[in-house]
Amino acid sequence: MKPMPRKKFEIWPYLLLAPALIIMVGVVFVPVVEAIIMSFKFYDMRYPNKTEFLGLSNYIEILTKDPQFWPSFGRTLLWVLFGVGFQFLFGFILALILNREFRGRGVVRALSMVPWVTPGVLIGLVWRWLYDGDYGVVNDLLIRMGILEDGIPFLSRMETALPATIVSVVWQGIPFFALMLLAALQGVSPDMYEAADIDGANFFQKLFRITLPSIKNTLFVTLLLRVIWVMNSVDIIQNMTAGGPAYATQTLSVYVYQKAHVLNLGYASAMAVLMTLLMLMAAVPYLRSTFKNDQ
Amino acid sequence: MKQHHTVKSVCKTFFGLVLPVAAFLIFLLFPFYWMFVTSVKPNAEIYANPLIYWPREFTWATYEKLFGYFDFLKYMKNSLIVAVCTMILSLFVSTLAAYAFSRYNFPGRKVLMAVFLSNNMFPTVLLMIPLYSIMRQLGLLYTPGGLVLAYTTFTIPFSVWLIQGFIRDVPFSLEEAALVDGCNRVRAFLKIFLPVLTPCLLAAGVYMFMQAWNEYTLASMFTNPATRTIPVALNSLIGQLGVEWDMLCAGGTVSVIPVCVMFFFAQKRLVAGLTAGAVKG
């Protein structure tokens, strides 16, 4: 629906926006500016009297000297690409299944949403328990199926740790994709499929010509929200592996989190600013489309 | 021929529907089953080889330990206070803001909308650092109020967006009729608009409650042992010698149940709002 046409200057909208705006300025904009200022400083809570202005040297150190920055950056890309990619794939399949009429559909839908409402800490820790080298279910099942001979401590091996954490973030994200895409699918008119059936279209033609174009907007926003959330996510990795073994699961947000925890705030801020720039690149198309739609 | 057909269709439903549904449900729900089962097993069965999938002996001893010496109720109370305050504060300010955005056309509307939407993009870890030092200066560090304010950094932008999605579905003619009848804007908002929107606001509230109840990253920085919320308490079960799995699984079970129940009641409306936001916003 279109907003009311503008007549004369009104004070109401500004008054209504004021409380939210004041809070946002206080908890977001002032801190962001503060973070940018801090990123140019030596600011370490362990040496409270030694705060000094450094210029760009935090950034230079991160980009050229820090042995962990670029590997973490690469892992962040893998974590988001595979994490969100598989969430989308399986979430879409689940949405297609739930879009069919069958008895007990409501129950299945409600039950399949539970991972989404589970705290990230718990997801990290329960999956850590499932992956356990001695008493873990994953190993037990793989051994029973004859795929493995002996249990693998998935989370303490360099090559299996990151894929293992990705599986758990996929598990967390499937419901959100399924829920959003299902709602979008239910808005697609059945007439279009009937017409396609008459024309003899096959499953894939219908998928690519009707289904995907119809749910494009929802798909786009869902992908973007998940990319932001998954990139930001600290709790799952922090509780599963704390970034280990030997940094094998350390993403940028986990790295910044750990640096902030040891109270090296200037350095951590600089890294967080770099991470924000990375996220803004993902967000620009989203903001642009919002503006376009609002015309 | 007919016989053949039914066999074929039974096969089709089995492989096309029953099997995939079962596979998804097992994958998505098994971790919860395992968590609950671990929480009611005696220690000898938790650490048994081969694994015991169906406990032979049920015990509530872990839950006694959880509420006894671990004092889990204290953390639940902390979480409840923070989640309820976050929910009320964000609902109040976001509803007003969303109403302004969707019912008025005013200079600066677009810029302000972009400001709110772009708030979603700042990583938690970016805000966490300056908030920590600001709260320390203001004496808000380690208080529930400080944590609530920190949570509004993501609940307000998101719920403004969500509630705008809901408002779009409320026809403007409803308030217009009231205005024509001589109601002023405030009365029209309170008497006509708000009652229509209430179920949607409750759904948005559930979402915000859930976010605050589950949040770990900020809570781990902004709480101390006295004000700790559930996720931080669960994290504290990671010890030097490994995780106390029995306690973790019991605490996990207790903390997941309330949000699940709330979510089941709110899910339909919540999704309607999320997708309405997605279509245009």
Interatomic CA distance for residues B47 and B66, integer angstroms: 19
Q: Read off the pLDDT of each residue in A33-46 and give the average, rounded to a whole number.
A: 86
Contact residues, chain A, for B104 at CB < 8 Å: 3-4, 10, 12-13, 16
Question: Would you say residue A109 has pLDDT above 60?
Answer: yes
Distance, in angstroms, between B73 CA and closest chain A CA?
A: 17
Average pLDDT over chain A reads: 87
What tokens appear for B258 in the block? 């309330």
Q: Read off the pLDDT of each residue in B51-74 and give the average, rounded to a whole number.
A: 89
Q: Are B171 and B153 in contact (CB under 8 A)?
A: no
Tell me which amino acid residue A156 is.
S
Q: Is A17 in contact with B156 (Cβ distance < 8 A)?
A: no
Q: Is A140 in contact with B51 (Cβ distance < 8 A)?
A: yes
Supply the pLDDT for residue A4. 55
In chain A, alpha helices (H)? 12-24, 30-39, 57-60, 69-98, 105-112, 120-130, 137-144, 158-185, 190-198, 203-206, 212-214, 216-232, 235-240, 252-261, 265-294
Give the residue, B70 or B5, on which the prediction is more confident.
B70
- Residues across chain A: 295
For B272, residues 6+ apart whose C-beta sits below 8 A from its C-beta are A183, B165, B166, B169, B200
Q: Read off the pLDDT of each residue in B100-107 and give the average, rounded to a whole number.
A: 88
Interatomic CA distance for residues B216 and A120, integer angstroms: 7
* E strand or H helix at B114: helix B109-118
Q: Are B247 and B62 in contact (CB under 8 A)?
A: yes
Its domain, for residue B35, covers 2-59
Contact residues, chain A, for B29 at CB < 8 Å: 111-112, 114
Supply the pLDDT for residue B4. 62
Q: Tell me, yes or no, if B103 comes closer than 8 A to chain A by beta carbon.
A: yes
Supply the pLDDT for residue B248. 93
Q: Is B28 in contact with A293 (Cβ distance < 8 A)?
A: no
Q: Read off the pLDDT of each residue in B198-209 and give the average, rounded to a whole number.
A: 90
Q: Read off the pLDDT of each residue in B234-242 and give the average, rounded to a whole number.
A: 86
Domain boundary among B21, B42, B59: B59
Interatomic CA distance for residues A30 and A50, integer angstroms: 23
Using a cut of 0.80, tell me whether the model's pTM lies above it.
yes
Give the residue, A177 or A218, on which the prediction is more confident.
A177
Q: Tell me, yes or no, if B281 comes closer than 8 A to chain A by beta carbon.
A: yes
Q: Tell me, yes or no, if A56 comes closer than 8 A to chain B by beta carbon.
A: no
Nearest to A102 by CA among B21, B8, B269: B21
List, for residues A233-263, the tens digit of each pLDDT value: 999 999 999 887 889 999 999 999 998 887 7
List, for residues A185-196, the tens digit of each pLDDT value: 888 888 888 888
**Do B139 and B193 share a structural domain?**
yes
Residue found under tokens 């408002």: B167
List, for residues B107-137, the tens digit of each pLDDT value: 888 888 888 877 777 888 899 989 988 898 8
Supply the pLDDT for residue B5. 65
Q: Tell me, yes or no, if A14 comes closer than 8 A to chain B by beta carbon.
A: yes
**Do B166 and B258 share a structural domain?**
yes
Interatomic CA distance for residues A62 and A37, integer angstroms: 16
* Domains of chain B: total: 2
Contact residues, chain A, for B32 at CB < 8 Å: 114
Q: Is B277 in contact with A218 (Cβ distance < 8 A)?
A: no
For B204, residues 6+ apart whose C-beta sits below 8 A from its C-beta are B91, B94, B159, B162, B163, B166, B270, B273
Distances in Å between the Cα of A102 and the Cα atoms of A190, A207, B13, B21, B82 are: 17, 21, 10, 11, 40
Domain boundary among B59, B79, B97: B59
Contact residues, chain A, for B271 at CB < 8 Å: 179-180, 182-183
170-229 of A, contacting B, C-beta below 8 A: 171, 174-175, 179-180, 182-184, 187, 217-218, 220-222, 225, 228
Q: Is B129 in contact with A265 (Cβ distance < 8 A)?
A: yes
CATH number of the domain bearing residue B188: 1.10.3720.10
Domain boundary among B59, B79, B107: B59
Q: Read off the pLDDT of each residue in A67-89 and give the average, rounded to a whole number.
A: 94
Enter the DSSP assignment of B236.
Answer: T
List, for residues A111-123, the tens digit of each pLDDT value: 888 999 999 999 9
Q: Tell me, yes or no, if B24 comes closer than 8 A to chain A by beta carbon.
A: yes
**Do B225 and B127 share a structural domain?**
yes
Q: Cα–chain-centroid distance for residue B10?
A: 40
Q: Tell me, yes or no, if B120 comes closer than 8 A to chain A by beta carbon.
A: yes
Q: Is A232 in contact with B123 (Cβ distance < 8 A)?
A: yes
Question: Does this complex have an ipTM over 0.90?
Answer: no
Q: Tell me, yes or no, if A102 comes closer than 8 A to chain B by beta carbon.
A: yes
For residue A228, give the chain B residue with the closest CA. B121
First-to-last CA distance in chain B? 53
**Do B119 and B200 share a structural domain?**
yes
Mutation for A interface: B197, B215, B275, most A CBs within 10 A: B275
Contact residues, chain B, for A90 at CB < 8 Å: 24
Interatomic CA distance for residues A71 and A279, integer angstroms: 17
Interatomic CA distance for residues B90 and B159, integer angstroms: 7
Nearest to A283 by CA among B233, B141, B106, B122: B122
**Do B236 and B157 share a structural domain?**
yes
CB environment B5-32: b (16+ within 10 A), e (fewer): eeeeeeeeeeeeeeeebeebeebbeebb
Q: Tell me, yes or no, if A118 comes closer than 8 A to chain B by beta carbon.
A: yes
Nearest to A283 by CA among A235, A233, A231: A231
**Do B18 and B78 share a structural domain?**
no
**Do B122 and B177 share a structural domain?**
yes
**Do B48 and B171 share a structural domain?**
no
**Do B82 and B49 share a structural domain?**
no
Q: Which of A17, A108, A280 sits opposite B121 (nearest CB)?
A: A280
Q: Is A31 in contact with B130 (Cβ distance < 8 A)?
A: yes
- The domains of chain A are located at 53-294
List, for residues B171-194, the tens digit of each pLDDT value: 888 777 777 777 777 888 888 888
Residue found under tokens 């073994």: A245
Q: Which of B27, B134, B263 sits opposite A34 (nearest CB)?
A: B134
Average pLDDT over chain B reads: 87
Interatomic CA distance for residues B259 and B214, integer angstroms: 9
**Do B68 and B55 share a structural domain?**
no
**Do B29 and B133 share a structural domain?**
no
Q: Tell me, yes or no, if B202 comes closer than 8 A to chain A by beta carbon.
A: no
Question: Would you say residue B280 has pLDDT above 70?
Answer: no
Other CB atoms within 10 Å distance of the CB of residue B225:
11
CATH superfamily, domain at A53-294: MetI-like (1.10.3720.10)
Contact residues, chain A, for B179 at CB < 8 Å: none
Q: Read off the pLDDT of each residue in B33-53 and give the average, rounded to a whole number.
A: 89
Contact residues, chain B, for A221 at CB < 8 Å: 277-278, 281
Other CB atoms within 10 Å distance of the CB of residue A250:
23
Contact residues, chain A, for B47 at CB < 8 Å: 134-135
Q: Is B28 in contact with A114 (Cβ distance < 8 A)?
A: yes
What tokens appear for A285 in the block? 């198309």
Q: Tell me, yes or no, if A152 comes closer than 8 A to chain B by beta carbon.
A: no
**Do B232 and B138 share a structural domain?**
yes
Supply the pLDDT for residue B277. 63
Counted across chains A and B, CB pairs separated by less than 8 A come out at 302
